[in-house]
Chains A and B, each alone.
Chain A
Amino acid sequence: MSISGSETQVSYLEYQGKHKGIWSWLLSTDHKRIGLLYLYAIIIFFFVAAFLGLLMRIELIAPGRTIMEPQTYNGLFTIHGIIMIFVIVIPGLAAVFGNFFLPILIGARDVAFPKLNLFSWYLYMIGAILGVLSQFIGGGAPDTGWTFYVPYSVESSTNVIYALTAAFILGFSSILTGLNFIVTIHRMRAPGMGWMRMPLFPWALYATAWIQVLATPIVGITLLMVIAERVLNIGFFDPALGGDPVLFQHLFWIYSHPAVYIMILPAMGIVTEIFPTFSQKPVFGYGAIVLSSLAIAFVGYFVWGHHMFTSGMSYNARWFFSFLTFIVAVPSAIKVFNWISTMYGGSIDLKPPLLYAISFIFLFMIGGFTGLVLGSLATNVQTHDTAFVMAHFHYIIFGGMGFAFFAAIHYWAPKMFGRMYNFRLAYIAWGFNFIGFNMLYFPLFIVGLQGMPRRAYDYLPQFQSGHVLSTIGSFILFAGLLLMVYNLIRGARKGAVAPANPWKGVTLEWKIPSPPPHENFDDLPEITSKPYLFGNISDNK
C-alpha cells in the first residue's frame, strides 16, 4: 500500500477556510469537524441525561418520597429516555466516529454529500434542544416514557407534542446521515478497495445505514399520526375513536427494535477494529463478520413483536416473533466468537481501548443472554415491564454501545486531537466505570425477577437493599465518567504529542498524520490487499 503522509497540508484543526473563528466550525462541511461537533454536543447532552438518571437513582434509594414528587419522576424517566435514546445512542457512534473515520477508512476525502452532512447536524441540534426544552416549558415535562404509548400519549396534558416533534426531527437527521453513508460507501471507496477489502467498521456502518433509511420513516409517520390525533382529533390509535393501541405498538417497534441495531452494530464494528490492532493479528473470519452484520440488520428488522408479547397479540404472532428473536442471536454470537478468536494467539497489549473492548464483550454477553430470557414466551410473562427489562436494556445499550463508545474514543482520540491522554488515569476511570456499572444495573436483574416493576416511583421495602446497592453504583459510575472525560479533555488540550500510529494499527487512518490534514490524503491511496494485514508473514496468507 502506498500512502503519502501529508507534510504539505495543515491539519484539519488548524485549517482556515472561508470562515473564521467559531464559524469555521459551525459552517464547516469537513466530515472531521462535523464529527467533532457531534461529539461535543453528545458529551453535553449525555451529562444532562446522566444527571437526570442520577436524580432518579437518588429518589429510588428508599421507598416513598425521597427528593421529588411522583410527577417529576415521570418527567425525569421520560426525558432521560428520550435524550439518551434519540439524541445520544442512536446517532452516537455513527455520527461521531462514522463521520470522522468512515471517509478516512475507505480512503476518501469526505462523505458523498458534505453539505447535507452539515444540515443533518443542524437538524440534530434543533431536535435535541427541542427535546430538552420539552422538560421545562409550558404544560410540564412529558410523562409518557420514551415509548409514547397510546392512548396515554394522546390524553396526557404535558408537553408530549414537543417531545414527539423532537423525535421526528432527530429521526430525519438520522435518515440523512444514513443516506449519506450508503452513498459514500458505494461511490467513494479508494481505487482498488473492493467490497471485501473494506475495513469492518465501514461494513457495520453500511448495515446500520440501511436500517436507518428503511426503518426510521415508519416511526416518523407514526409520531406524525399521534400528533394529528392530539391536535386534529383524527382517530388512529385511540380506542374511543375506534382506533387500535396495539397497532401503535406495532408501528413504534417496527422502528424502535431495529433502532437497537442502529445502536449496537456500529459498536460491534468499532471493537472489530480494536481487537486486531491490539492483538497484532488479522481479524478472524472477515467474511463471517461481514455476513453477520448484514444478517443482524436484516433479521433484526423483523423481530419487533417481541416487545409486545403481553399486549394481546395472536398466539401465532407471538411464537413466530419469539423464534425470529432467537435467530437473531446467532449472528451476534458469531461475532463474539470472531473477536475472541482474533485475540487467541495474538500478542495482546492491554491498553485502555482494548480493556474497554473486552468489557464490551463481557457486558454485551450478559445483556444478550438476558435478552433471550425476555425473548422466550414463558419467561417473558414473568419479566415483562419489570426492572429486569430495564437492566437488560442498559447492559446492551450502556454496556454495549456505551462501552464501545469509550473504547472508540480511547482508540481514536490520539488521531483526532493529535495528543495522548494519561494511561494511568484512563485505567482508574475504567475501574470506576466497570465496577460502578455492574453495581448499578446487576441488582436490578434480581429485584426485577422478584417483581419490581420498571418506571415505578415507589416500591415495597423488600426491594430496598437492591436499590441501595444500585444507587451507590450509580455514584461510582458517575465519578468514573467525570474522571474519564476530564482525562480525555486534558489529554486533548495538553497531553504529549501523539505519533501518527501509536498503536501499530494498519488501517488507513494510521497512515496519515495525527491529527489528519484537511483533505485527509494528498493522493488517494491505492488499495492492493485485504485489510488487517500485520507485518508477520505467516499471517498474510
Chain B
Amino acid sequence: MKHEDKHISSYSSLAIVLAVLLLLTAFSVWITGFHFGAFTVAVALIIASVKVATVLINFMHLKFENLFLRLLVTGVFVMFALVVILTFVDYYFR
C-alpha cells in the first residue's frame, strides 16, 4: 500500500534540530563543572529529557503522527515514572 500523505522533513530543519541537540550536549557537559549537590542528577536528567523530547518530536516524526500515538508515547514514559516513584516509596522511607 502506498504512503497516502507523505510528511517530509526538510534537510535544513533536520540540521537545525541537530544543532540544538549538540548545543544541549555542550551545555550539559559545561554545567557539570558546577556543583548543585543533590540537584546535579536532576539537572542532568532535565537536559536529557529535553533532548529526548526533541529527538522524539522531530527525528522520529511524532509531530506528524496522530494524537493517539503521541498520547501512547507520553503514557509509556509516565508509566515508567510511576514505577520508579512507587519503588522509591519503599527505598526513600526505609
Interface string of A312-323 (1 = CB under 8 A from B): 011111001100
Point out the residue from A301, A302, A317 that lies within 8 Å of B90, measured CB to CB. A317
Answer whether residue A485 sits at the interface, using C-beta atoms and an 8 A cutoff.
no
Does any Cβ of B come within 8 Å of A513's Cβ? no
Interchain nearest-CB distance for A296 vs B (Å): 15
Number of B residues contacting the other chain (C-beta, 8 Å)? 12
Q: Are A302 and B94 in contact (CB under 8 A)?
A: no
> Which of B76, B82, B83, B89 interacts with A317 by CB under 8 Å?
B89
Bound Cα distance A331, B90 (Å): 26
In the bound complex, residues from chain A placing their C-beta under 8 Å from that of B12 are none
Interface residues as binary, B66-94 with A (CB distance below 8 Å gives 1, 0 otherwise): 00000000001001001100110111111
Q: Could you write out 10 A-B pairs with CB less than 8 Å apart?
A: A214-B76, A218-B83, A246-B90, A301-B79, A302-B83, A302-B86, A314-B91, A314-B94, A316-B93, A320-B86
Q: Give chain B nearest CB distance to A457 CB in angstroms.
A: 32
Residues of A contacting B76 with CB < 8 Å? 214
Q: Is the CB of A317 within 8 A of B79?
A: no
Chain B proximity of A248: nearest CB distance (Å): 12
A305 touches B (CB below 8 Å): yes
| Residue numbers in B under 8 Å from A305 (CB-CB) | 86, 90
Interface size class of A (residues with CB under 8 A): 10 to 19
**Known contacts A254-B83, A321-B86; 13 further A-B pairs (Cβ under 8 A):** A214-B76, A214-B79, A246-B90, A302-B82, A314-B91, A314-B92, A314-B93, A314-B94, A315-B93, A316-B93, A317-B89, A317-B90, A320-B89
A301, closest chain B residue (CB): B79
Expressed in whole angstroms, the minimum distance between the Cβ of B46 and any Cβ of chain A is 24
Question: CB-CB < 8 A to B92: which residues of A?
Answer: 314
B89 near A316 with CB under 8 A, answer: yes
User: Chain A nearest CB: distance from B81 CB in Å?
Assistant: 12
Contacting residues, chain A, for B93 (C-beta < 8 A): 314-317
Q: Which residues from B are CB-within-8-Å of A321?
A: 86
The answer to the question of A230 belonging to the interface, with a C-beta cut-off of 8 Å to chain B, is no
Interface membership of chain B positions 34-48, coded 1 if the CB is closer than 8 angstroms to chain A and 0 otherwise: 000000000000000
7 smallest CB-CB distances across A and B, nearest first, come from A314-B93, A317-B90, A316-B93, A317-B89, A313-B90, A314-B94, A314-B90
Asked if A250 CB lies within 8 Å of chain B CBs, one says yes
Given contacts A214-B76, A214-B79, contact A314 B86 (CB under 8 A): no
- The complex places the Cα of A250 from the Cα of B91 at a distance, in Å, of 11
A73 to B91, CA, bound (A): 36
Query: How far is B87's CA from A321's CA once the two chains are assembled, in angstroms?
Result: 10
Q: Which residues of chain B come closer than 8 Å to A314, judged between CB atoms?
A: 89-94
Q: How far is the CA of A320 from the CA of B87 in the complex (A)?
A: 11
Q: Is the CB of B82 within 8 A of A250?
A: no
Within 8 Å CB of B89, what residues of A?
314, 316-317, 320
Which residue of A has the minimal Cβ distance to B83? A254
